[in-house]
Amino acid sequence: MRSYIKCFVLIVVSLCLYAPSAFAQHNVSKIEGSNRYEVAVNAAKRGWSTAPTVVLVGGEAYADALSAVPYAFQQGAPVLLTNTSSLSGATKSGLQQLKTKRVIILGGTASISQKVVAQLKAMNLSVSRIQGKNRYELAANVAKQMKSADTAVIVNGSAYADAVAIAPYAAKQGFPILLTDAKGLRQETANLLKSKAVKRTIVIGGETSVNQAAYQKLPSPVRISGANRYEVAVRIAKTYPMKTTQTYMSNGYAYADAAVAASTAAKQGQTLLLTDAQSVPDAIRRVIGSKKISTFTVLGGTSTIRTSVITQLKNHVLGETIFIDPGHGAQDAGAVGNGLFEKNVNLDVALKLQARLKQAGALTVMSRTSDTFDSLQTRVSKGSQAGADVFISIHANANDHSGANGTETYYDATYASANSLKLAQKVQPQMVKALGTRDRGVKTAGFYVIKYSKMPSILLETGFVTSPIDASILKSTTAKERLASGIAAGVSQYFE
């Protein structure tokens, strides 16, 4: 009885004392405001100290904004937004702060009324308007005002995210953004391509956006598409790379914010990537990891980009691929003791670790997610096929003597020796702190999965199932939750 009381006290003390170390941080800044009009002004201030010319678009006229960014770039102007019926207060203040003298309105009076024009003129501003009878004609009329280019970008006039994602690159290259619909090539666009003698076109979006019939009518077309708007943004970033020293992030569904983000990104020659409100999508994580992007400017308030996204962007594990291998499984129970089967402990900890790492922004791959069995060779092969940045094999220990206890981490010197040691040294103390177990240290051993995995690899022995003390801890769901958090913190620290 006394031994069980002692075990319980150890668990309670370790859980009370343990708090995972703060994740290492990337550099993240924010551009936000109380509404989209203020966000646009604040974004403009990031790119322009003064803006003699401003391109003004209706805050609800997303289609009008599609062609705005390349045109505004050639005018040396930011893109600002306004209400339809009256000049927005934030926009009026922004025009004054930017010392604007000239405003070019894109869109008809349904987007920006004549009352807004009168208000602008009352500020002693020069005002002109480019419009069309529909979004397709407007885009063509905007392109007519741009310098001639041998290339144009074609997007679906309702696929706002596609246009936003390509806009910074199109702007830097001087390419107009022209619109069509899902039915075929719009005549307004076809006429512009002919009149401007465009020789090459970049189509953004799949065949549901720009169908094959339209595609075949375009001059020397190439297509950039993806399963969703995030994959499209990633493929644009890979095909037409921009700088990533200050990568812009915007909600892929907050079109007003995304348009002004594209304007500022174009001004600075930076990449623009899209996210959703709650979490950085996997496709975006991959490009962040592959390009080693570490500095971000997030555009939008907490209603469009939540703090969970900011937290992920700050974490060095963002975009890294972590292979998690729960040891044993199925007919191979592993160590057995004190009512515990090692295979179950390993899987439970691994699933909790996967959840923590995904929440932190990592890409995770597991050798198994249920009570199945893979050979050691298969586990190594799966890690290689996943292109993993690190390999973590999770185990529990056993000994003929019940007094043996504690936590230890193994690495092998065959491949990636220095980084494997570094990873082990980051994870081991976090596990010990999480569990309150005896620290058995970092050791070398030729266990198959870490000997033959070529990426940095470690094997964790979380505790002894044959030890009454360790077994009591490993039976605790709360302890395993904190263990997973500790391992995740160690992995994050490794990527600093």
Residue tagged active-site, from 38, 188, 342, 461: 461
Sign of the alpha-carbon dihedral angle for 164, 168, 169, 174: positive
256 contacts: CB under 8 Å, gap ≥ 6: 36, 39, 40, 59, 60, 62, 65, 81
Q: Are 494 and 422 in contact (CB under 8 A)?
A: yes
Longest dimension (CA), the chain: 91
Going by C-alpha positions, the residue among 70, 209, 190, 316 that lies closest to residue 201 is 190
Vertex 205 angle, CA 200 and 209, to 5° = 105
> In 3-state terms, what secondary structure has residue 63?
helix
> In 3-state terms, what secondary structure has residue 451?
helix
Q: Which amino acid is at 44?
A: A
Going by C-alpha positions, the residue among 334, 100, 468 that lies closest to residue 91 is 100
Q: Scan for tokens 């005018």, then name that residue.
A: 75
18-to-139, 179, 481 alpha-carbon distances in Å: 59, 57, 12
Active site residue 461: yes
Q: Which residues pair with 151 in a beta bridge?
A: 200
Q: What order of strands is seen across the sheet that includes strand 363-366?
A: 363-366, 321-326, 390-397, 457-464, 407-411, 439-444
Give the H/E segment covering residue 221.
strand 221-224
Residues forming the active site: 461
